[in-house]
Amino acid sequence: MRIAITREVSPSIGRCELTHLARQPIDVERARAQHRQYEGTLTVLGCEVYRLSATPDLPDSVFIEDVAVVFAELAILTHPGAPSRRSEVPAVAELLENYRKLVAITAPGILDGGDVLRIGKRVWVGLSGRSNRAAVEQMRAILAPFGYLVEGVPVTGCLHLKSAVTQVAEDAVLINPAWVDGALFAGMDVIAVDPAETYGANALLIGADVVYPTAYPRTRERLEQGGISVHAVDVSELAKAEGAVTCCSLIFEA
């Protein structure tokens, strides 16, 4: 059974952390409607969705991917780079412990799950403003017994590694080459975003299908021309909070 853990949009999402975007008003009810549509798409694609409730003191908590990274063997609880987000971890940990052994990243390590890209037994960790080399070393020690290779990679111009590159098929990635070096993914098919759609590299692969924002139609066309099945969702309000489709769920096999 494929599980998807989500978290309701907080009424205080307008006070979210921002790094690369100017603050804009966020319509909370519209954001919640978009989030429900997103959850519906996860259900259509075979996920059993478990939604955690929101609280007013956790404005970024809908972006649940940042607080845990789930592998087949265990789950790693992160130590988010933004101190305001560290209180998001306990509720997610309480649910995850029903499915996985839990191991935590600790200071001086900082890690956001949005900086972690796993493809098979390779794990890339973005060295961004939210994740550092100390966390990479901790992840390497945690995952080495299970045969994973963990590599820290520079990220520029965006919040997280998955803002710059995501997996879109078993052997393919979608990338903004201005933000991360495509040579890191040698041996895979590399699909570049349309130059006019800078933020279009974030896609969520579920089985053989991809959940993808409606905001980037030119890049979506590139995906479809590559034979990829795309399910488009409107996440425009969540994007104002530097959110994207991978951020809003933790997906794993039970």
Alpha helices in the chain (DSSP H): 28-44, 89-96, 133-143, 161-164, 217-225, 236-239
**Position of tokens 């959850």?**
39
Residue type, 214: T
The one catalytic residue in 16, 47, 247, 248 is 247
Other CB atoms closer than 10 Å to residue 52's CB: what's the count?
Answer: 17
Nearest to 166 by CA among 192, 142, 146: 192
**Is 247 an annotated catalytic residue?**
yes
The one catalytic residue in 16, 160, 231, 248 is 160
SS3 per-residue string spanning 84-97: HHHHHHHHHHHHHC
Contact 128, 170 (CB under 8 A): no
Which string of b and e fits 112-140 if b means at least 16 CB within 10 Å? bbbbbbbbeeebbbbbbbbbbebbbebbb
* Residues catalogued as catalytic: 160, 247
